[in-house]
Amino acid sequence: MKWYDATLEAVKEIVNDNNSPFLTYKEIKEKRLKDIVLKTKSNGKTPENSLSFYLQHLRDAGLLKFVDNRGQYFFIDNPLDESFSNVGLNLIIDSTSTKDEIQVDEIFYHIKIRKGQNTLRNKMLKNYQSKCAFCGIMEEPLLVASHIYRWADDKHGDFRGKLNNIICMCEMHDALFELGYFTIDEHYQVIDNYKGNDPILKGIIKNSKFTAPLQYPPNSFCIFEHHKRIGLK
């Protein structure tokens, strides 16, 4: 096995063990360096230097990001697993920008990661057979683990990791559900709550029909909380 592949495999193993996308150079060195050396059949005297070199390669490939200057990394194995919200954001806007040109630059931000999202997504896909529950789209990059009772509203976290609070939706249905343009009742019938006039959206909602999952159907309490949030009487 090549060093690049062995290093990537070691990173994935630590992420899975931690159930978190965060890991440190120290963890890789202490927990996996010996395994990497065995897998690559390396006889070099400085495996630590090789490890640093190939971790840099993973950063260049966009699979790792530095989180801080203490050797902590954030592993990005799937763009959809980067569930984060900005906690602090510093942005400088150039007041000399013209009307047809926007000043852009890199910014530093603090991130808050939702732990366990990759595992939750995989189980959700299996539960709904990798299909949007409302239109049947099977293009996995477009499928979202949509919470009925929103993560932010569930202050005690009672339903955040529950599969009966999650419906597999395409990005369009996820957005419409989040905005309250439609919902479902306790019998899983679609309720049209759209007040606008866009004929395309009206058509999408009209043609939406809920397809039950293999297990873990939507929880009635979570459905009720969605009704409350969107003002449905």
Q: Last residue of some domain: 93, 113, 133?
A: 113
The more confident residue out of 103 and 191 is 191
| Maximum separation of any 2 CA atoms in the chain, in Å | 71
State pTM to two decimals.
Answer: 0.55
Q: How confident is the model over 150-180, as pLDDT tens digits?
A: 877 877 778 878 899 999 999 999 999 999 9
Range of the domain at 104: 80-113
Question: Please, which residues bridge with residue 146 across strands?
Answer: 167
Q: Last residue of some domain: 61, 89, 113?
A: 113
Residue that is written with structure tokens 């955040």 in the block: 160
DSSP state of 65: E
Domain shared by 155 and 207, yes or no: yes
Domain shared by 20 and 108, yes or no: no
Q: How confident is the model over 1-32, as pLDDT tens digits?
A: 899 999 999 999 988 887 778 888 888 999 99
Q: Return the CATH number at 46.
A: 1.10.10.10
Domain shared by 150 and 109, yes or no: no
Phi, then psi, of 182 in degrees rounded to 5? -155, 165
Which range has the worst mean pLDDT, 23-32, 55-64, 165-174, 182-191?
55-64
Domain shared by 138 and 167, yes or no: yes
Domain shared by 153 and 191, yes or no: yes
CA distance 68 to 145: 29
Among candidates 151, 141, 211, 155, which has minimal Cα distance to 178? 151
Q: What's the total number of domains in the chain?
A: 3
